[in-house]
A and B are shown apart, each in its own frame.
Chain A
């Protein structure tokens, strides 16, 4: 059973292609649950999930909440944004408190890279990384993969260019690992100041310096959000100049040699990294991404809960029969 997951979902880097494909395959029927009249199945009845968001998030938190509720899990939101406690101490304390409250799963977002792993090593509950610092955001990577696979059938041989602030982006990292494992070619495009040093060798991607080159090369562009504070930090001269040089505009897309898909993890800065008529245009699969986000999170919750390696051995006979 190579597709089985371990206790936690912390990143896509450590997953095999079979594990990633297993999650995507599970997301397909789970996506249909959201199209039913009664958008709920009893699968995780009795399981308690704590959504621990140490960083502001609307989309991801709401998406996880929908996923949990549609599987009948009990969801508790622990809003810790703005906490002044030092990060390490907060996590240890939080872990101990959660253990004492007998929860089953934790969804965690934290500004420190490695925070999800830190928590996973200290509690028995399943831990799902909802974004840790600049490290990974695996469920975002999975929903991007599902969105592309829906359109293309397979990712093998397809070309995806990740555009913008790759340096600070956990979305980019999860995408690069997931896409390459499923056989896609990956490029990055953005100002050199916003690309990680040695990105070609470390991540096995191509670097394209001009957005026009990316549009000519790619089957899909994943346009990252440009954090507005990057300008103040001196990574780019101005938002207007960024839009002029790297913005994905309709005029540029019209010169694309083939049908391009446009992805964006949100929230968008319209008029900066992406123009409105692109975001709302025929190439955009941005709302598909949001729909698929609930589906892949349902899949991860379903596959992790109870699917612990130590319990797998006892499965055998029970699973095969009606």
Chain B
């Protein structure tokens, strides 16, 4: 079918609102966007090829470096996949500590995503507040693991270091402080009339469209799909995890669902610290030969590792499926169709929380 396209507007690969290089080619009729096409491939690292032939202690660090924002979950999914292959059991204390670190990582990732949305809609004050809050979460991560971003906290059969009593108290008080600040910032976001003008009713992704585009993570949950890979995780089941969802389907819902998940993560961390079992943090166990497919819930959605290892526990074949590719596709083919101006294209794109480093690996 022939379409009348007034102008083609390319956005990126270098754009002040995009944190990572990606090119969006928008077709506009007047100022309304009628179609968009995505161009990826500006930052391919080939990290899966580098991982081949290496033992877990080397791949673990490479897996973290797939994505700089959600590094802990890459480590966790890789290590749990290796444990599934080799039949290694994790001591309960280590499993709870993993959840604590993973949820801290989720908080900082969501806060960063919301910062970049606020920055895109030019509400830099709130953006900077959120970045400041994120810095406190990073400090707690550093206190627990020794590093801010590339924590390398989990190893097959446990974690690398225990949490001391002093650290647990510090973490509890920090979490209280973060929750208090967060309440204020969520209030600023949900009550701001200008924010509502830029966010409400823009970038609609209906439930059917989200299913069609295979959207995952907060993007899907903002469209009313209550699916979360943490439901399948034994430790989260013990903690009684229930996913949150919203039905507004617009940019506002996608940002608010991240705020909701931050609050949920905080309560999960509290619960973990409260019933932290006593005992060892490492059970031992050697990686063996096998093949598996394992999924975990990254801050952006379902993250899957497909791994085949040889008899010495070295990686023979590895494939990583990251959540962002589905969300970026959903954004290009469903969300930004019919958006009223180019200014809303960037904010809608950022609201899906695209992570190009993950996508291209």
Asked if A and B are interacting partners, one says no
